[in-house]
Structure 1
Amino acid sequence: MNHNPYPILYSLRQCPYCIRARIALLLANQTVLIREIETKNKPEEMLAVSRKGTVPILNLPDGTTIDESIDIMIWALTQDDPNDLLLQNHKDALDDMTVLINQTDTQFVNTLNAYKAASRYHDASETENRQQCEGFIGELEHRLAGQRYLMRNEPSLADYAILPFVRQFSRVDRKWYSNAPYPNLQRWLTEHYNNPLYAKTMTKYPKWLNSRKAMLFEP
């Protein structure tokens, strides 16, 4: 049982899965206690509520634990969705978004990780791995050619779920990305960066095990 009045979020600032969870919590007007962790020194309190041991983990006051980032996003937006990010009045929209997000989390993340590793170690396969990533990036570019965001002209769950991984892709080789033939994707990413919400999502917090202070993460 979580005896705090707020849910507890175990998080890692640069983790893309944590970024998407924090964005959704802000957009859903959900206040949580945030506990910034270190992967090499995981709190026993975190492992006690989820043996999975990977963040993000959201522990609710009733003792319920949610330890998948998309599930945290959907839980938050089910509490409050003022911007209709779940597209509740559009038939099959959630299913369509889920397909796109699953494609991101499986196919794209695997190729992205290979691209990042090849770049880090100056491997000869870097260009090949990037080109594999571009298959998915090209799909996003095509979607954004006819509308401002991935599902419509306003952001949706899909935009915020996929954003952290496009961010990672853009940072592997910044010079290449700035000259890449993806103007719609570049515009989309810049718009997210320019939103004050993004800066709030990326706020730095002290490591919880060092201070054990209750830090509010709130809209």
Structure 2
Amino acid sequence: MTGSERSLAKGSAAPGPVPQGTIRLYSMRFCPYAQRARLVLLAKGIKHEIVNINLKNKPDWFFEKSPLGLVPSLETSDGKIIYESPTVCEYLDDAFPGKKLLPSDPYAKAEQKMLLEAFSAITSIFYKIFIALKNGDVEIKSQFFEKFKKLEEALAKKNTPYFGGESVSFFDYMAWPWFEKFSYCGLEGLLDKTPNVKAWQDRMLQDPAVKATYTNLEDLSGFYKLYIENSVEAADYGLNSENCSPKL
């Protein structure tokens, strides 16, 4: 894997053409939506490079790579652009050989996509939660749990180690990035009420792609502090002059 560590911001030069045999991911180190794509790239062993974008101070050229100005976005060596995290991840699963994350059975595939749609209710309020909890609002925590327990019900009904069956699948990777942030948001106690999801989380922590993309609590805390302050330095939290060069 190659790619920039420090994010590119307004005024930076656009990267050159994507090398043949490689796919480029436009990302941001702390973005859970971009982490979805990184998980899939690693799980499938796809040769890729990563270009991090400062989402608080985006380069003008980035809108050519992502019309909505969001990450993740993919760029192929022949100039194709794919964006929106579920679309990016499904494209990677379809376009590249190796382990298939979405099942071939139409109904099983539909099940995962329906579960992902339901999960969007959790992600849509997630960022409100850590701010509310810091302000002592416990009511939002119970509201969150009402949505979160649907995951427990789905996993209990399926009675398998993972949401897709006996091995890690598409939905497992799509959901994972938010679970890393539970302890920061004071939500880890919810897992005591959802034993099947807790067991799933423990299994996911052993997955090689999860280990490779995991963000520790100290870095999360530093990032969110700057993010809440609307700081343009948030995206590069934890980097220093020794590791700001491209990673080869």
Tell me the TM-score normalized by structure 1: 0.82
CA distance 1:81–1:185, change in 2 (3 Å): farther
Which residue number in structure 2 is paired with residue 133 of structure 1? 144
1:191 maps onto 2:203 in alignment? yes
1:119 partner letter: L
Residue by residue over 1:98-142, the C-alpha shift from the partner in whole angstroms, topping out at 9 and shown as x without a partner, is 11112222x21223232222023x143xx2212222123212112
- Consecutive unaligned residues of structure 1, counting only runs of 5 or more, are none
Instruction: Name which structure has the greater RCO, CA cutoff 8 Å, separation 6+.
Output: 1
Which residue number in structure 2 is paired with residue 118 of structure 1? 132
| Pairing partner for 1:162 from 175, 178, 182 | 175
Structure 1: how far apart are the matches of 2:58 and 2:127?
23
Identity %: 26
- Consecutive unaligned residues of structure 2, counting only runs of 5 or more, are 1-15, 220-235
Structure 2: how far apart are the matches of 1:192 and 1:64?
32
Number of aligned residue pairs: 207
Equivalent residues in 2 for 1:40-189 (5 A)? 40-80=56-96, 82-88=98-104, 90-105=105-120, 107-120=121-134, 122-124=135-137, 127-145=138-156, 146-173=159-186, 176-177=189-190, 180-189=192-201
Contact 1:112 1:129 survives alignment (8 Å)? no
2:122 partner letter: F
Structure 2: how far apart are the matches of 1:143 and 1:188?
12
> Partner of 1:86: helix, strand, or coil?
coil
> Partner of 1:171: helix, strand, or coil?
coil
CA distance 1:182–1:143, change in 2 (3 Å): same
Q: CA deviation at 1:170?
A: 4.7
> Partner of 2:49: helix, strand, or coil?
strand
Of 169-178 and 133-142, more deviation after overlay is shown by 169-178
CA distance 1:158–1:116, change in 2 (3 Å): same
Structure 2: how far apart are the matches of 1:211 and 1:65?
26
Residue by residue over 1:54-89, the C-alpha shift from the partner in whole angstroms, topping out at 9 and shown as x without a partner, is 11111111111111111111111113353332111x
Q: What's the RMSD between the two structures over aligned residues? A: 2.7
> Partner of 1:35: helix, strand, or coil?
strand
